[in-house]
Amino acid sequence: MTVYKNQNNFLQFELWKDCHIGCSFCVNKGQPDLNKTQSLIFVLEKINSDEIKDYNEIGFIGGEFFNGELKDPIVKSLFYKIFECVSDLIHKGYINKLYITTALIFDMNEWLIPFLEQLEEWKILDKTLLCTSYDIAYRFHTKEREELWKNNMLQLKNQWQTKGLLVHTETILTQPFIDSVLSGNFNITEFCDLYKTRIDYIEPASGLYYKNKQECAKDISGFFPTKKSFIKFIQYTLSRNEIDLSTFLSMELRSSKLYYIDGGKRLVQEDRRSGEGKAKPCDCTKLYEIGFIDSDDRMIDVARLIGENYEDE
C-alpha cells in the first residue's frame, strides 16, 4: 500500500464534534459543536475553491459520521454532495487519496455501508482509506462493543477490501497498550494480518479539555506511558520487525493543513506538521500536551535514537 510512503500534500476538514461513542480519552471532550448545515456549507465552498488545487489528498474527521449523525435529510444531502465533489476532483486528477475516519462501534448497515456503496458507484472506492482506531483500555467500555468493532473490521475485510477499499488503524501509545504488547497479550503482526490493516501510532494527548497532561492522567489513569516502558516497546517491536521507524509517529501521516473546531468556532491550522500535530486551544488555561507522563522528550526523537543504536549493533 504505497499510499503510506508517498509524499503527500494533505488537506483535512473536521466537519463536527458530534459523536455518541464516548471514548475516555476523546480530545473533543467538553467541546461545543457547530451547526452541521453551516459547517458542511463552509466545507463545500472550500472544496469548490481554487485552494483545493494545492493539495493531492483530502480527509474528513468528526465526531462521527455513521452512527446516526446523518439523520437530518439536509445534513445528509450536503454530506453526500461534499463527497460527490471529491469524486469529481479525483476523476479530474487533482486528488488521489480520500481519508475518512470512523469509530466502527455501531451497526454499519444503516449509514456506512450505503456510503461505501455510493463511493463504489462513483468509482472512487479504491482511492479511499477508511481510518479507524483500536484501544486496549479506554475505548470500548464493554466486551460487546469491542466485539462489534472486530466483526465490523472483518466485514470490511471480506466484503469491501476485496473491492479496493483500504483500512488503517490508529492506536494511541498508552501505558496499557505498551504493557499488553510487552507481555505478549497483544500481537501486532497477528492483529494486522487478521484485519488486513496497518497500525499507525499516535502519542497520547491531553486534548482541548484538560489544563495539562498531568490533570488528564489523573482523570484517565495510566493513559500517558513512562519513557522507560516506551523504550522497551521500541526495542521489542524493532526486534520483531513490527514497526517501521521511517513512518513511526511521522507527521507525513497527518494533514498538512487542518480546518478544525474549537470553542464552537471554525479555525485553521496552516502548517500542522511543523507543530507536531498539536492544536493551540482557544482557552488559554488549557494546554494540548502529548507524550510521556514523566518526561518532556519527544517520543519520535527517542524512537529514532533507539533505531540508530539498533542499526549500529
Say if pTM beats, i.e. exceeds, 0.85: yes
Q: Which three cell numbers stand for residue 112?
A: 456506512
Residue 3 has pLDDT above 60, yes or no: no
- Give me the pLDDT at residue 7, please: 64
> What is the mean pLDDT of the segment spanning 63-74?
95
- Closest by CA to 216, choosing from 26, 20, 62, is 26
Residue 312 has pLDDT above 70, yes or no: no
- Give me the pLDDT at residue 65, please: 96
**Of the candidate ranges 94-103, 139-148, 208-217, the one whose mean pLDDT is the lowest:** 208-217
What CA–CA distances, in Å, run from 42 to 11, 18, 35, 79, 153? 14, 17, 11, 11, 32
> Mean pLDDT, the chain, as a whole number?
91
Contact 251, 272 (CB under 8 A): yes
More confident residue, 283 or 112: 112
Residue 146 has pLDDT above 70, yes or no: yes
> What is the mean pLDDT of the segment spanning 215-225?
92
Q: Give me the CATH number covering residue 107.
A: 3.20.20
Q: Which three cell numbers stand for residue 205?
A: 494527548
Task: Give 275's pLDDT tier (boundaries 50, 70, 90).
Answer: low
Which residues have C-beta within 8 Å of that of residue 240, sequence separation ≥ 6? 188, 189
Residue 21 has pLDDT above 80, yes or no: yes
- Give me the pLDDT at residue 143, please: 95
**Of the candidate ranges 79-88, 166-175, 235-244, 247-256, the one whose mean pLDDT is the lowest:** 247-256
> What is the mean pLDDT of the segment spanning 166-182?
97
At 230-249, the pLDDT tens digits run 999 999 999 999 999 988 98
Residue 17 has pLDDT above 50, yes or no: yes
Helices (H), 123-269: 143-159, 175-183, 188-195, 213-219, 227-239
If one counts the domains in the chain, the total is 1
Task: Give 269's pLDDT tier (boundaries 50, 70, 90).
Answer: confident
- Give me the pLDDT at residue 235, please: 96
Which residues have C-beta within 8 Å of that of residue 268, sequence separation ≥ 6? 257, 258, 259, 260
The pairing of beta strand 57-61 with beta strand 97-101 = parallel
More confident residue, 284 or 135: 135
> What is the mean pLDDT of the segment spanning 158-166?
97
- Give me the pLDDT at residue 39, please: 96
Task: Give 26's pLDDT tier (boundaries 50, 70, 90).
Answer: confident
Task: Give 8's pLDDT tier (boundaries 50, 70, 90).
Answer: confident
Contact 132, 170 (CB under 8 A): yes
The DSSP letter of residue 205 is B
> What is the mean pLDDT of the segment spanning 24-37?
83
Residue 1 has pLDDT above 60, yes or no: no
Quick one: what percent of the chain has pLDDT higher than 90?
A: 73
Range(s) of the domain holding residue 273: 2-312
- Give me the pLDDT at residue 278, please: 64
